[in-house]
Structure 1
Amino acid sequence: MRTQKKSSSKKKKSAALLAAGVIGLATAGGAYAYWTSLGGGTGTATTRAGASNVFLVTGGSATAMYPGDSAQTITATVKNTGTETYKIQAVKAYVTTNKTNCDGSDYKLNGAVAPVSEATAASLGITGVDLAPAATTTVDYTLQFNNKTTNQDACQGATVTINYVAS
């Protein structure tokens, strides 16, 4: 009987090992199995509305101008007063004065007769640049008295204002 017990015991061990191996293989094989499928969905995000009038343009001042005067270089500084980065793309200017019969046409911006209104403002030729909050950039241009062939006495003592339009 002893021989029978041994052989029965060996059979049980073999069966147990075989079962463990099958379970191990099944588990290992399961790690490499997968299903394929398609999916979809939606998400949402928002953007800020932005602010208007975030660019503050300030310009240096010219010395007193007169007929036959040479052009003076003026530097305008553009500052982003907003709380986000904005791109400055253009700075334009036009000229007004505090005197009757003396207007922008009595002056020159960058060598051309200065415009007299926002609608006709002349480009100062700024290079577009992203401006972070509180950052600045500059643009140089020239201002000159336009020596016309007509009497320009109305411009004597005039306060000349360079009006900037930034976008």
Structure 2
Amino acid sequence: MRTHKTSSKNAKNSKKKRSAALLAAGVIGLATAGGAYAYWTSNGGGTGTATTATGTSTALVVSGNATSPMFPGDSAQTVTATVKNSGSESYKLQGLKAYVTTGATDCDSTDYKLNGAPAPSTEATAVSITVTPIDLAPNATTTGTFTMQFNNKTTNQDACKGAAVTIHYVAS
């Protein structure tokens, strides 16, 4: 029988061959396993919907009265106008104006003064009231002030005795 002697050089080559074979098998295994994770790519799109509240044109409610009866020769009194957001959404108050009407014959807006000048009688000519523009949350309030007094004319103003005077406010 023949005995085969393995030289140390042959042993090293054999280990290298075995390592190379194992490495190749691992690479092939990984490449095959990687094929199991293949995927497609794509782009997509679609639509959705949303709505906005309709709001209301009368959400800003203004109130404010002269506290004392007016008469010829009286002093100007300060009137505080309170603006309240009665809506369910926030609204921005940008400005506030006022004008005056009466229910008495021969007694008109010019028999009264707003901010020191004869009071206007229409929305188109309403007097500006100083107010800071503000976003009002639902139920929030803010105020503006102005002066009001009887306009002491040089003519008989008996028609204004006991007159009901209405202060109209315009909030925007």
Q: TM-score, normalised by structure 1?
A: 0.79
Q: Equivalent residue for 2:102? A: 97
Distance 1:14 1:97, change over 3 A: same
User: Residue 113 in 1 paired to residue 118 in 2?
Assistant: yes
- Distance apart, 1:96 and its partner CA: 1.1
Larger deviation, residues 57-66 vs 138-147? 57-66
Question: What number of residue pairs does the alignment pair up?
Answer: 156
Q: Which residue of 2 aligns with 1:64?
A: 69
Distance 1:5 1:72, change over 3 A: same
Task: Decide which of 9, 14, 36 is 1:8's aligned counterpart.
Answer: 14
1:159 and 2:158 equivalent? Answer: no
Say if 1:2 and 1:94 are closer, same or farther in 2 by CA, change over 3 A. Answer: farther
* Structure of higher CA gyration radius: 2
Conserved? CA contact 2:96–2:170, under 8 Å? yes
Shift of 1:16: 2.7
CA–CA separation in structure 1 for the residues paired with 2:148 and 2:84: 21
CA separation of 1:2 and 1:117: change in aligned 2, threshold 3 A:
farther
Instruction: Select which of 141, 147, 155 maps to 2:146.
Output: 141
The alignment-based identity, stated in percent, is 61
* Equivalent of 1:79 in 76, 84, 91: 84
* Gap change, CA 1:151 and 1:2, over 3 Å in 2: farther
The aligned runs of 1:32-51 (5 Å cut-off) are: 45-51=50-56
Q: Residues of 2 paired with 1:126 and 1:19: CA distance?
A: 84
The separation in 2 between residues aligned to 1:150 and 1:18, in whole angstroms, is 117
Instruction: Give the counterpart of 2:127 among 118, 122, 141.
Output: 122
Could you tell me which of 36, 52, 56 is aligned with 2:57?
A: 52
Any gaps of 5 or more consecutive residues in structure 1?
28-38
Moved more, 104-113 or 46-55: 46-55
- Partner amino acid for 1:134? N
Per-residue CA deviation, residues 78-117 of structure 1 (Å, 9 max, x unaligned), is: 0001111110011111111121111111000011110112
